[in-house]
């Protein structure tokens, strides 16, 4: 199985002040590509370009295992030729001999908009993107400033593949966490045969209450939720709270740290922070998030909007974290 990845980095002058965060972002993304490719046994080939007025090829169809982390992040550029950088990556990836049997992922990160493309260039770029996406082997991901999503969506980029981020160090860090998690989930999908995605940035925070209510069962009257004051094993904690012997599968822990292996048989439960209503199901949350409904996925805490997420524990010694909550569902 072969996965090709292209990365476009913005080194224009406007990135000044974000250099440390941008360097860390790239290093963590590359690190996750290495981890995910090894974990899922997927041969990953990476190309990297930078745009800083001109386009520079930093790596061309190189094994992800040989890529080195950045130690500095210069920002000498003045303009943002974003689309030209993507065009360059496409040219590099389309030159590979096995392109008919591979999958392709291109990720672009910028703190601005393309400010060099003409109307003709934008139309040509849009047509090219749409043609490649129609093959169901190409996924294009854009990380851009706020208010830029609609313009990219009009050009044919799926909204689920566009992340708007705040141009601050904190905004970059939050974007990094979500991107690393998304890369992990993307690789889990590729392992199961997915060749492209239109929901790279799946996030429960994007769901409205009506969407959840309409797709999932309201189990509010069937569950009990208990705050966790100190580190405890889920079995002893819930036995003490409920007065019953613990049965595996009836306990749920609140998502509070990265979970690398959430199996498809585990139930995921969502609680509305505003109303307290609780909804549960086996595949429904995954479907709503655009995640695979079968196989193991990776989940990381992020911005989940109005929802708390609980994951079914299938062991007795799962450690509950202070400051979170544990959920008990006898019928689970």
- Residue of 92 and 287 predicted with greater confidence: 92
Mean pLDDT, the chain, as a whole number? 88
Q: Give the percent of the chain with pLDDT over 70.
A: 88
CA neighbor of 225 nearest in space, from 284, 267, 258, 269: 269
Query: pTM, whole model, 2 decimals?
Result: 0.67
pLDDT tens digits for 104-160? 999 999 998 898 888 888 999 999 999 999 999 999 999 999 889 999 999 999 988
How far apart CA 261 and CA 281 sit, in angstroms, is 18
Rounded average pLDDT over 12-23: 92
Check residue 149 and report its DSSP letter. Answer: H
Does the pLDDT value for residue 91 go beyond 90? Answer: yes
Check residue 253 and report its DSSP letter. Answer: E
Residue 217: pLDDT band (50, 70, 90) is confident
How far apart CA 295 and CA 139 sit, in angstroms, is 21
Between the CA of residue 173 and those of 25, 134, 167, what are the distances in Å? 7, 32, 10
Rounded average pLDDT over 249-268: 84
pLDDT at 44: 97
pLDDT at 175: 86
Beta-sheet pairing, 223-227 with 325-329: antiparallel
Rounded average pLDDT over 217-236: 93
DSSP conformation letters of 43-88: EEEEEEEEESSSEEEEEEEEEGGG----S-----B-S--HHHHHHH
Minimum mean pLDDT range among 231-235, 273-277, 279-283, 308-312: 279-283
Q: Give the percent of the chain with pLDDT over 90.
A: 58
pLDDT at 130: 96
Rounded average pLDDT over 66-86: 93
- Residue of 178 and 15 predicted with greater confidence: 15
| H-helix or E-strand spanning residue 212 | helix 209-215
3-state secondary structure 78-130: CCCCHHHHHHHHHHHHHCCCCHHHCEEEEEEECCCCCCCCCHHHHHHHHHHHH
Given a contact cutoff of 8 angstroms between Cβ atoms, the answer to whether 249 and 238 are in contact is no
pLDDT at 289: 58
pLDDT tens digits for 184-206? 888 988 988 889 998 888 655 55
pLDDT at 288: 58
Where do the domains of the chain lie, and which CATH numbers do they carry?
2-191 (3.40.50.410), 204-329 (no CATH)
pLDDT at 1: 76
| H-helix or E-strand spanning residue 34 | helix 19-40
Nearest-10 Cα torsion for 281, 286, 292, 296:
-70
Residue 208: pLDDT band (50, 70, 90) is low
């Amino acid at each position: 199985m072969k996965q090709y990845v292209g990365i476009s980095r913005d080194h224009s002058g406007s990135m000044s002040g974000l250099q440390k965060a941008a360097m860390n972002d790239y290093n963590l993304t590359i690190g996750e590509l290495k981890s995910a490719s090894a974990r899922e046994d997927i041969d990953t080939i990476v190309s990297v370009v930078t745009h800083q007025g001109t386009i520079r090829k930093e790596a061309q169809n190189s094994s992800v295992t040989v890529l080195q982390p950045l130690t500095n992040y210069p920002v000498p550029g003045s303009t943002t030729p974003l689309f030209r950088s993507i065009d360059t990556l496409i040219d590099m990836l389309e030159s590979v001999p096995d392109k008919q049997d591979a999958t392709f992922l291109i990720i672009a990160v910028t703190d601005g908009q393309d400010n060099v493309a003409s109307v003709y260039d934008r139309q040509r770029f849009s047509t090219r993107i749409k043609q490649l996406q129609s093959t169901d082997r190409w996924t294009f991901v854009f990380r851009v400033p706020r208010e830029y999503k609609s313009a990219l969506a009009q050009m044919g980029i799926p909204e689920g593949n566009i992340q708007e981020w705040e141009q601050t160090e904190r905004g970059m860090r939050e974007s990094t966490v979500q991107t690393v998690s998304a890369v992990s989930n993307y690789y889990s999908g590729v392992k199961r045969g997915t060749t492209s995605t239109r929901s790279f940035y799946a996030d429960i925070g994007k769901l409205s209450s009506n969407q959840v209510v309409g797709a999932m069962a309201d189990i509010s009257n069937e569950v009990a939720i208990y705050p966790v004051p100190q580190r405890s094993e889920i079995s002893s904690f819930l036995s003490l709270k409920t007065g019953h012997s613990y049965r595996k599968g009836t306990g749920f822990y609140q998502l509070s740290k990265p979970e690398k292996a959430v199996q498809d048989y585990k139930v995921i439960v969502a609680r509305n922070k505003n109303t307290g209503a609780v909804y549960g199901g086996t595949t429904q949350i995954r479907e709503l998030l655009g995640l695979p409904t079968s196989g193991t996925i990776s989940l990381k805490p992020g911005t989940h909007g109005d929802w708390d997420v609980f994951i079914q524990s299938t062991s007795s010694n799962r450690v509950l974290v202070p400051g979170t909550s544990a959920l008990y569902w006898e019928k689970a």
